[in-house]
Amino acid sequence: MLSPIENKPTFSWYRENRQPLGWLGALATFFLALNCAARLRGEDDGIYGKWIMTPRYAREGKLIPATGKLAGTIRGAQFSKQSPSALVFDGKQGFLTLADNLIEAQLPRPQLTAEAWVLVQSTSEWGAFASAIQDNGEYERGWMLGYRGARFCFGLVSSKKRRLTYLTANTDFAIGSWYYVAATYDGQTMNLYVDGQLAASSKEQTGDILYPERGRFGLGGYRDDDEFYPLDGRIAEVSVHRQVLSGREITRRFSNRKQDFPGIVASRTVGDDWPTYLRDDLRSGMSTSELQWPLKLAWRYRAKHPPAPAWPPPAKQNFWREEFNLPARVTYDRAMHVVSDGNNVFFGSSADDQLHCLDLSTGATRWVFFAEGPIRLAPTLWKNRVYFGSDDGHVYCLTSQQGRQLWKFRAGPRDRRIPGNGRIISAWPVRSGVIIDDGRIRFAAGLFPNQGTFQYLLDAQTGKQLASGTIAFSPQGYMTKRGNSLAIAQGRGPQVQLAKLQRAGKPLPMPSGKWAEQYPYSFVGAANSWIAGGAEQVAAFDSTSGKQIWRAQVEGRAYGLAVTAGHLLVSTDRGNIYCFAPPAHPRSDPPPEPSQRHGDSSPTGPMSRLAQRLVQSTGADIGYALLLGSGNGRLAGELARRTRLRIICVDPVGKRVDQARQYLADKGHYGQVVVHRGRLSVLPYGSALFNLVIYVAPTGRASVPAAIKKEILRVLHPNSTAVLTDQTGTTWMELHRAALAGTGDWTHMYANPANTSCSLDKRVRDQLQLQWFGPPGPRDMVDRHHRTVPPLVCDGRLFIPGDNRVIGVDAYNGSLLWNVEVADSRRIGALRDAGSMVATEDYLYVLARDRCYGLNARTGASERNFSAPLSADGQLRYWGYVARVGDRLFGSTTRPGASRTEQSRQTIDETYYDHIPIVTSDRLFARQRHSGEPLWDYTPTTGAILNPTITIANNRLFFVQSNIASTLAEESGRSQLPELLKKAATLVAIDATTGQVAWKTNIDLSSIEHHLYLSYAEDRLIAVGTRNQGSGKQGRVWYDIHCYSANDGKPQWNTTQNQQQPTGGSHGEQDHHPVIVGQTVYVEPYAYDLVSGQQLQHWNLRRGGHGCGAMSAS
């Protein structure tokens, strides 16, 4: 075992012939040695610690510092057997602890530099090379140098900000490649450097670094009290300084050491084409093609329909982290990204499902190819062929010159198509693009791992499957070669490794600068310049000086850039593609796309009359329609002109399919209408999807084959109509599908007025398959941490509570029916209050301040407006609780402001944790739900009514009422449970018809501290409350369950359960609502017999994770 080496410079000088130097040379050498030694000592001034990962610094299982005092125990890591020497961490348990006590460690506070020579072998959500951090809910302390997903990251919190900033690099790193990563903080500015170049900067933090009172300082993983993300990779060296190294010094350090790390210097591939997204499989975006500035517009392509991105915009803010103006992270299909072979331009469309080929010189259309679903990612060119994937679940191979299909391959276990992101697509869409590696195609398919997500390897020439396998994540976005790995994004999630490949090069990093703020959407490089895309503009910068040398206006956000054969191609989110060329290149306006032109249908022609009759007869206007027998496309086009339906045409004859597609594309309908080729007797679509089905019988045939009729009824939406007709409308027969038997509804916050959290749906089975997915997305939603009221379902409609709005959705196919603003309807922390929406067959009742609005369930129009009664002394009261039974609407009144409505970081804290005040009411009342006519009211005198306990069943209202009179006078309208229940509370039952007290009885719930729920089932009332038992680290959350007779309130049984969870939990540990199914009461994680209270020994649900969400049942 070697002893640690002192950190002192040693020098020796020899001439070429190894002869001793003369006295003059020796004197010069002496002064040179002094100068070098002084310089090196200056470099080490202020260094806190340096750890070099070689065996010579190892002693008895510990790593001894080259500089500094902290030695670390080596666990789960071993020294590499190849150069450069490094510690190899296993990605499982490996971690090098340097200090268990961060206070005693005395890490740098006013200023900091951390630097590391590292190689990451696989990515994870978080990772670190060096960390001294705690990021646990509100408690954010310390710093880390590491990565988030596939991007390097520097996290730090200061004494003034007290919230962590995670500064993230602007470029993905390559898996399996060496990097030099450094970070600095001078008390005002955080900087992150990658390979000696500035990668990100922030001024969010000011003041000294704020360290946690407890925690570890270590190498090889992101570690705090709650989480551990071990590094899978290598660390060669880590240094921490008490001072800030300059950017020039960091660049010098990289330059001096880079020769020690093979492959650390990035390079660009040679070529004048742009055969795949961002030029190559590294997604470097770097071309060796030289652009002659200034470029001029050569031509412009305008798509008939702008791109239709799969996913809607993100939320505007993250209140938990206090981050605002959040950028979109899933942007792979915001524009029609192009590729080029130097002669042609190729791109797919997510709006019209076509792959387009244009002439690079003129922009004229050479050919188009129709897929059967959106084409969201750019194609790939290889050996005069074009390869691409589609949402229809296929990968296609076409000739690049004519667009002729050579082969196609279907992904997924079968051809099943469902509504997804507002379109009918495969349940296993291909949203990975394709990569061609050594004559083989790689791609992935599927979005939801529990429904099946897969990766495939095909022969690029023949399309023959060579290999396939399942994957455990959602593959979305372009695949990327990273070192010796193939990585792919998971939508919003970080990149993950898809396969091992031969080592690829390392892409050039994106230069940082102020230009990124003005041009944030795209970035590529040419031989002599950088080009960046922004909003309504694109600009070029000299690659040496960084000076702007060119700028041009475009319409839309420039998400796509490509450089090929001296041309610059720009794609925007409005469906425009611009070609800029040298000034000598003549400008041309592309001619109209060549196509077979058809005249418009006559307003009085047979197709127009038939479409009008179909609309009037069925009332179908929104959702999905299925047209079996596409004909020439004219009927579908007429339906598209008259309705908002998305129309799927199916025809078994290829010639008719081609004709209909071209006609609909010419008229601008393609996308809203699509044409699939297939058999009519075996349809690939999910069940109960189509709001309208039309079967157009062939000429001379009046009957419908039995197999086709069976399929029609299977895919027809419940409570909808199918029409069987012919081209003239002479034959006319209607089939109506009734509501599905055994379906359940979820009409109140906890399913029903009895609060059972059980829908009584009898159709649900243990094996579920995806019915649909899609909008509305997060932009209109209440921030999830605020725990608003749940969506409701009634009569086939889904009602989603948004941010002061409500959104109506077709529950069977996800079609957006309406989106209506309801001012002041947002309710926060609803579990400590009551539901604010009730769904019925004809109305959705929504509360806002003192009002209850009745929205038409079909259209969203506000048709009812009832006000809450005033208090006894004439003061304004808000409507707190709402429920519906029959023709009666039940409500309660609360003090203004009692229900939480504001979104903020502070409000989030009022929806979690212990001892949070409960919203209370000072009156109950009933109204006729159509007219609003008052029926009765009940006013308590002994104390306030606890909103989470109001329950209706068997023509009675049940609730817990405080016996502390002062709770009625509490100005906030909220009280903590110990205050409400410190005297024996009263369990009350009143008649739902008259409002008269049926019975009341005192109950002792004085031990309850955090939450109290009440539910009804089979003449029994179940009260579930939570409390703490024990103190400090020994304290645990307990749930008390009480059963009372609903006939007279007499106790039936009670029990208590230890959740085995620490007190003070921040993830809803004290908030779980019970679920009652038949004669079983589920109080997570246990279950009890409703009648006897006996615990069911076979049931113990440990779902893992934080457990924030509540359980529900059918």
The predicted structure's pLDDT at residue 671: 96
User: Which of 209, 240, 260 is at the close of a domain?
Assistant: 260
Which is more confident, 729 or 733? Answer: 733
The mean-pLDDT minimum among 98-102, 324-328, 860-864, 1010-1014 falls in 324-328
CB contact set of 175 (below 8 Å; sequence gap of 6+): 120, 121, 122, 123, 150, 482, 483, 484, 485, 487, 497
604 band by pLDDT with thresholds 50, 70 and 90: low
| Residue 878: φ, ψ to 5° | -95, 155
Q: Is the pLDDT of residue 37 over 70?
A: no
> pLDDT tens-digit profile of 267-323?
777 788 999 999 999 899 999 889 999 999 999 999 999 999 999 999 999 888 788
> pLDDT tens-digit profile of 797-833?
999 999 999 999 999 999 999 999 999 999 999 999 9
* Co-location of 563 and 682 in the same domain: no
The predicted structure's pLDDT at residue 378: 98
The predicted structure's pLDDT at residue 327: 83
The predicted structure's pLDDT at residue 108: 97
The predicted structure's pLDDT at residue 593: 42
**CB-based burial label for 226 (10 Å; 0-12, 13-18, 19+):** exposed
* Co-location of 167 and 191 in the same domain: yes
User: Which of 722, 737, 752 is at the close of a domain?
Assistant: 737
> pLDDT tens-digit profile of 351-384?
999 999 999 999 999 999 999 999 999 999 999 9
What range does the domain containing 41 cover? 1-45
1032: domain CATH number is 2.40.128.630
Orientation of helix 634-642 relative to helix 606-618, angle to 10°: 50
CB contact set of 38 (below 8 Å; sequence gap of 6+): none
Q: Is the pLDDT of residue 595 over 90?
A: no
With residue 262 as reference, give the H or E element that holds it. none
* Co-location of 54 and 41 in the same domain: no
> pLDDT tens-digit profile of 886-931?
999 999 999 999 999 999 988 888 888 999 999 999 999 999 999 9
The predicted structure's pLDDT at residue 1106: 67
The mean-pLDDT minimum among 172-181, 192-201, 795-804 falls in 172-181
The predicted structure's pLDDT at residue 12: 25
DSSP string, 308-335: --SS----SEETTTTEESPPPS--TTSS
> pLDDT tens-digit profile of 439-487?
999 999 999 999 999 999 999 999 999 999 999 999 999 999 877 788 8
User: Which of 260, 287, 322 is at the close of a domain?
Assistant: 260
* Co-location of 820 and 920 in the same domain: yes
Q: Look up residue 93 and give its two tokens.
A: 């348990």
Which is more confident, 35 or 1109? Answer: 1109
The predicted structure's pLDDT at residue 42: 38
The predicted structure's pLDDT at residue 150: 83
* Co-location of 563 and 621 in the same domain: no
* Co-location of 30 and 64 in the same domain: no
The mean-pLDDT minimum among 28-32, 369-373, 768-772, 1086-1090 falls in 28-32
The mean-pLDDT minimum among 7-21, 26-40, 504-518 falls in 7-21
* Co-location of 838 and 717 in the same domain: no
* Co-location of 403 and 442 in the same domain: yes
Residue 1099 placed within a domain: no
Residue 764 placed within a domain: no
Return the amino acid letter for 336.
M
Q: Is the pLDDT of residue 996 over 70?
A: yes
The predicted structure's pLDDT at residue 201: 94
- Sheet with 522-525, strands from edge to edge, namely 296-302, 576-581, 567-572, 548-564, 535-542, 529-533, 522-525
Coil vs helix vs strand at 103: helix
Q: Is the pLDDT of residue 34 over 60?
A: no
Residue 717 placed within a domain: yes
Residue 754 placed within a domain: no
553 band by pLDDT with thresholds 50, 70 and 90: very high
Q: What is the average per-residue pLDDT within 644-653?
A: 97
Asked whether the CA dihedral 460, 463, 465, 469 is positive or negative, the reply is: positive
492 band by pLDDT with thresholds 50, 70 and 90: low
For the chain, the domain total comes to 5
Q: How many CB atoms lie within 10 A of CB 1031?
A: 8
Mean of the per-residue pLDDT values of the chain: 91
Give pTM, 2 decimals.
Answer: 0.85
601 band by pLDDT with thresholds 50, 70 and 90: low
Residue 1006 placed within a domain: yes
* Co-location of 133 and 220 in the same domain: yes
The predicted structure's pLDDT at residue 589: 56
The predicted structure's pLDDT at residue 40: 38
Q: Is the pLDDT of residue 597 over 60?
A: no
* Co-location of 407 and 515 in the same domain: yes
Q: For residues 1052 and 445, what is the distance between their CA atoms, to the nearest angstrom?
A: 55
228: domain CATH number is 2.60.120.200
The predicted structure's pLDDT at residue 33: 38
Closest among 948, 979, 943, 974 to 961, alpha carbons compared: 943
Q: For residues 503 and 485, what is the distance between their CA atoms, to the nearest angstrom?
A: 7
Most confident of 500-514, 753-767, 923-937: 923-937
The predicted structure's pLDDT at residue 928: 97
Distance of CA 345 to the CA centre of its chain: 32
599 band by pLDDT with thresholds 50, 70 and 90: very low
DSSP string, 169-188: -SSPPPTT-EEEEEEEE-SS
Q: Where are the alpha helices (DSSP H) in 619-693?
A: 634-642, 654-666
Q: Look up residue 886 and give its two tokens.
A: 């029959």
Return the amino acid letter for 634.
R
Which is more confident, 1064 or 716? Answer: 716
* Co-location of 71 and 96 in the same domain: yes
Residue 986 placed within a domain: yes
Q: Is the pLDDT of residue 16 over 70?
A: no
Please give the share of the chain, as a percent, with pLDDT higher than 90.
78
Give the Å distances, CA to CA, from 91 to 122, 153, 474, 711, 1055: 8, 18, 22, 51, 44
Residue 454 placed within a domain: yes
Q: For residues 469 and 610, what is the distance between their CA atoms, to the nearest angstrom?
A: 49
Give the Cα-Cα-Cα angle 139, 183, 321 (nearest 5 degrees): 30
With residue 726 as reference, give the H or E element that holds it. none
> pLDDT tens-digit profile of 204-248?
999 999 999 889 999 999 999 888 999 999 999 999 999 999 999
The predicted structure's pLDDT at residue 695: 96
44 band by pLDDT with thresholds 50, 70 and 90: low
1024 beta partners: 1013, 1041
Return the amino acid letter for 464.
K
375: domain CATH number is 2.130.10.10
Residue 746 placed within a domain: no
The mean-pLDDT minimum among 130-144, 244-258, 442-456, 692-706 falls in 692-706
* Co-location of 218 and 347 in the same domain: no
The predicted structure's pLDDT at residue 461: 97
